[in-house]
């Protein structure tokens, strides 16, 4: 063991370059700036969400009043249960930019209710989606620009920077478009830090005529869904040989991300690094009903 | 509470940056890549500190990220090695300015990556085997077996307390 102790000494003698503390400090400052920006955004988001919630409640109230008071209105609504004929998803805005070798492509979706009875229910969600897409693109560009500045300041050249080929992408994916559900994912990623991927999910129930929460799709039973996920994690660990971080997971809560798949089953989504090593990527757990 | 965790993580990083650098250097074997690995690790850790639900796990969590970033750099470099040289690099690239002239250290660096990391974390970073199993995403018994075999291969007298 004497040998090992000597070896430890030579390991500890690996010289530490002066640049190390500078580079670490640079990252900390970048992160601090992001922290501040995030705090402001969270505040803004809260205000926006509050407004949306009020608008959504107002629309639901109108709809339910209609159902209770008018027989014909209820029948009319009952006759059009297919999402295919009551709503559609369109690309509202699509653009690409290329500034200082930071390439951005953005596709912003919008949901349109064809049925006039449901008209208005989509407004809040559309607003949120729009704000999310614009904000993600803006923040990702600012992050990449900071990265570029730091890269050039630490001796990188413009050519080397261009070779990084930074790409920012905001897009959407319709997860389910069945007679019962419309489920959509809106996502943002950048090519240089898988750490900063973000996504939002929305699921509309055509029969109930409302946007669903996690409790709605799990019939209020978060507990058994959580047990289900935990047993799926054990299975995935066996298959991949990777160790998931389920012991650090605080459990399934109402704000967990989810969508409904084509089979009508809820799927809970975890971002990279949320519950498993980043290398394992995004994790999805289907709860088969 | 969250801000508190963020501040603690920053303090932990500042305090232990030398350790992270050494570990990264022992993987990538040159200064530039080791600096990059640490920098990337700090960036990712601070962007994701919210995922760290358990404050006590900071240490193993951060070592895990440092190793991950170091291997990401090594793997990216491997792509530039000609196709016929696909074996695990027999001649590790060593920074000219600094080489550890130590037979045992050289022997360790030639071992299979998992065993290398287990030995480094156990004896140089003085982590417990339970912590190592968390850092490497590896079953505790596998860690024990690999450590035992590694030490045997190095012809080092194995003490009971090192392998439990």
Do both A187 and A50 map to the same domain?
Answer: yes
Higher pLDDT, A1 or A191: A191
Angle between helix A19-69 and A123-153 (nearest 10): 170
pLDDT tens figures, A50-106: 555 555 444 444 443 333 333 333 333 333 333 445 677 877 778 888 888 889 999
Q: Which of residues 109-128 of B touch A (CB under 8 A)?
A: 120, 123-124
CB contact under 8 A, B21 and A278: no
Q: Is residue A26 part of a domain?
A: yes
Closest-CA residue of chain B to A36: B3
Average pLDDT over residues B58-77: 89
Do both A284 and A256 map to the same domain?
Answer: yes
Query: Residue A167 burial by CB count (10 A; 0-12/13-18/19+): exposed, middle or buried?
Result: middle
Q: Is residue A276 part of a domain?
A: yes
CB pairs below 8 Å between A and B: how many? 112
Query: Residue A250: which pLDDT band, with cuts at 50, 70 and 90?
Result: confident
- The radius of gyration of chain A from alpha carbons, rounded to an integer in Å, stands at 24
Query: Residue A201: which pLDDT band, with cuts at 50, 70 and 90?
Result: very high
Alpha helices in chain B (DSSP H): 2-28, 31-47, 58-78, 103-109, 113-119, 129-135, 140-153
Instruction: Give the CA dihedral A286, A219, A76, A109, nearest 10 degrees.
Output: -40
User: Distance between CA A168 and CA A197 in Å, rounded?
Assistant: 10
Do both A149 and A227 map to the same domain?
Answer: no
CB contact under 8 A, B102 and A10: yes
CB contact under 8 A, A248 and B53: yes
Q: Which of A182, A212, A242 is the last residue of a domain?
A: A212
Above 60 in pLDDT, residue A164? yes
Q: Does A162 touch chain B (CB under 8 A)?
A: no
| Residue located via tokens 């009020």 | A54
Above 90 in pLDDT, residue A202? yes
Q: Does A251 touch chain B (CB under 8 A)?
A: no
Mean predicted lDDT score pLDDT of chain B: 81
Kindly state the percentage of chain A with pLDDT values over 90: 23
Higher pLDDT, A59 or A43: A43
Q: Is residue A176 part of a domain?
A: yes
Are B67 and B27 spatial neighbours (Cβ–Cβ below 8 Å)? yes
pLDDT tens figures, A102-153: 899 998 888 888 777 777 888 889 999 999 999 999 999 998 898 888 888 8
Above 70 in pLDDT, residue B87? no
How many structural domains are present in chain A? 2
Q: Is residue A13 part of a domain?
A: no
Candidates 1.10.1040.10, 1.10.10.10, 3.30.930.10, 1.10.1740.10; correct CATH number of B1-99? 1.10.1740.10
Above 90 in pLDDT, residue B122? yes
Above 60 in pLDDT, residue A192? yes
Are A186 and A172 spatial neighbours (Cβ–Cβ below 8 Å)? yes
Domain that includes residue A200, residue range: 21-212
Candidates 3.40.50.300, 3.30.1310.10, 1.10.10.10, 3.20.80.10; correct CATH number of B100-164? 1.10.10.10
Do both A169 and A228 map to the same domain?
Answer: no
The angle subtended at Cα A182 by Cα A177 and Cα A186, nearest 5°, is 105
Do both A136 and A269 map to the same domain?
Answer: no
Mean predicted lDDT score pLDDT of chain A: 79
Q: Which of residues 166-205 of A touch B (CB under 8 A)?
A: 193, 195-196
Above 60 in pLDDT, residue A26? yes
Residue (of B12, B2, B109) closest to B61 by Cα position = B12
pLDDT of residue A269: 94
User: Distance between CA B57 and CA B135 in Å, rounded?
Assistant: 10
Above 60 in pLDDT, residue A186? yes
Residue (of A97, A86, A176) closest to A140 by Cα position = A97
Are A84 and A179 spatial neighbours (Cβ–Cβ below 8 Å)? yes
């Amino acid at each position: 063991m004497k040998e090992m102790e000597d070896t430890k000494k030579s390991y500890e003698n690996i010289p530490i370059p002066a640049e190390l503390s500078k580079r670490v400090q640079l990252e900390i400052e970048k992160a601090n700036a992001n922290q501040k920006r995030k705090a402001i955004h969270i505040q803004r988001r809260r205000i926006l969400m509050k407004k949306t919630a009020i608008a959504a409640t107002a629309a639901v109230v109108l709809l339910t009043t209609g159902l209770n008071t008018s027989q014909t209105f209820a029948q009319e609504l009952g006759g059009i249960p297919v999402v295919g004929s009551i709503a559609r998803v369109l690309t509202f805005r699509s653009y690409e930019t290329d500034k200082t070798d930071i390439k951005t492509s953005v596709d912003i979706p919008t949901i349109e209710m064809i049925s006039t009875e449901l008209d208005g229910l989509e407004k809040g969600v559309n607003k949120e989606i729009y704000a999310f897409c614009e904000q993600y693109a803006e923040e990702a560009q600012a992050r990449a620009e900071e990265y570029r500045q730091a890269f050039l300041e630490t001796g990188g050249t413009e050519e080397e920077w261009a070779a990084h080929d930074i790409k920012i992408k905001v897009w959407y994916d319709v997860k389910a478009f069945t007679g019962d559900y419309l489920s959509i994912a809106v996502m943002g990623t950048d090519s240089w830090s898988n750490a900063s991927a973000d996504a939002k999910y929305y699921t509309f129930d055509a029969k109930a005529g409302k946007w669903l929460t996690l409790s709605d799709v799990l019939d209020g039973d978060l507990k058994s869904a959580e047990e289900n996920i935990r047993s799926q994690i054990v299975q995935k660990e066996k298959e991949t040989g990777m160790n998931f971080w389920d012991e650090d997971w605080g459990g399934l809560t109402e704000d967990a991300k989810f969508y409904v798949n084509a089979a009508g089953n809820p799927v809970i989504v975890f971002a990279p690094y949320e519950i498993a090593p980043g290398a394992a990527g995004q994790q999805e757990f289907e709860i088969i009903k | 509470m969250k801000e508190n965790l963020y501040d603690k993580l920053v303090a932990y990083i500042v305090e232990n940056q030398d350790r992270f650098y050494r570990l990264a250097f022992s993987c990538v074997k040159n200064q530039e890549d080791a600096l990059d690995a640490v920098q990337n690790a700090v960036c990712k850790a601070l962007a994701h500190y919210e995922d760290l639900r358990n404050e006590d796990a900071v240490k193993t969590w951060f070592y895990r990220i440092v190793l991950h970033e170091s291997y990401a750099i090594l793997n990216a470099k491997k792509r530039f090695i000609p196709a016929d040289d696909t074996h695990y690099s027999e001649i590790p690239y060593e920074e000219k300015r600094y080489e550890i002239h130590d037979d045992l250290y050289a022997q360790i660096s030639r071992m299979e990556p998992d065993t290398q990391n287990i030995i480094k974390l156990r004896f140089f970073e003085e982590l417990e085997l339970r912590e190592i199993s968390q850092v490497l995403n590896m079953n505790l018994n596998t860690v024990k077996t690999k450590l035992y075999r590694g030490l045997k291969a190095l012809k080092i007298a194995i003490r009971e307390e090192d392998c439990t």
